[in-house]
């Protein structure tokens, strides 16, 4: 099993960042790599079990299922059902923790997955930098206060 972990401090409260990232269908509004997204079968975007179907700006398509969503813990967990990345058993969690000093938040995004031998380093870099850190950087650029 391969693990990816990225963390960051965002200069906005956990409440305000959570308002943006909580929407399981809202990736195009804050993540720079996402072109569009929809929730399949007309389900609510906060219903555990709903599936988001989205396209990357490079043309790739990904389907993910929401496994857990906690407003109390500011966290969501999801799994990849289909993607062009060549990963299997992919599960990820995005979690925010309030930083009371300055009204900021500590953001963590982690994933674990299986992949073909020899691809571990490439996938850890592309997911860690191209997905997780890119998302955090985009959130930092937005006025969330």
For the chain, the average pLDDT equals 95
For 43-96, what is each residue's pLDDT tens digit?
A: 999 999 999 999 999 999 999 999 999 999 999 999 999 999 999 999 999 999
Q: Indicate the length of the chain as a whole number.
A: 145
The model's pTM is 0.94
Average pLDDT for residues 27-42, to the nearest whole number? 95
pLDDT band for position 144 (cuts 50, 70, 90): low
Residues above pLDDT 90, as percent of the chain: 94
* 13-37 mean pLDDT: 95
What b-and-e string marks burial along 114-131, b requiring 16 or more CB atoms within 10 Å of the CB? ebeeeeeeebbeebbeeb
pLDDT of residue 142: 80
Over the Cα atoms of the chain, what is R_g?
15
Residue of 128, 118, 56, 122 whose CA lies nearest to 92: 128
Cβ distance 133 to 10 under 8 Å?
no
In the predicted structure, residue 4 carries a pLDDT above the cut 60: yes
Tell me the mean pLDDT in the region 95-121: 95
Distance CA 94, CA 4 (A): 12
């Amino acid at each position: 099993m391969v693990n990816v972990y990225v963390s960051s401090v965002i200069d906005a409260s956990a409440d305000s960042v959570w308002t943006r990232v909580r929407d399981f269908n809202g990736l195009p509004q804050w993540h720079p790599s996402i072109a569009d997204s929809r929730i399949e079968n007309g389900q609510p975007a906060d219903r555990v079990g709903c599936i988001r179907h989205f396209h990357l700006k490079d043309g790739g398509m990904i389907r993910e299922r929401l496994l857990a969503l906690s407003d109390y813990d500011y966290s969501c967990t999801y799994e990849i059902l289909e993607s062009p990345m060549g990963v299997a058993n992919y599960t990820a969690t995005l979690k925010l923790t309030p930083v009371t000093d300055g009204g900021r938040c500590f953001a963590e995004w982690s994933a674990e997955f299986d992949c073909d031998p020899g691809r571990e380093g490439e996938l850890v870099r592309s997911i860690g930098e191209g997905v997780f850190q890119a998302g955090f950087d985009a959130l930092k650029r937005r006025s969330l206060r």
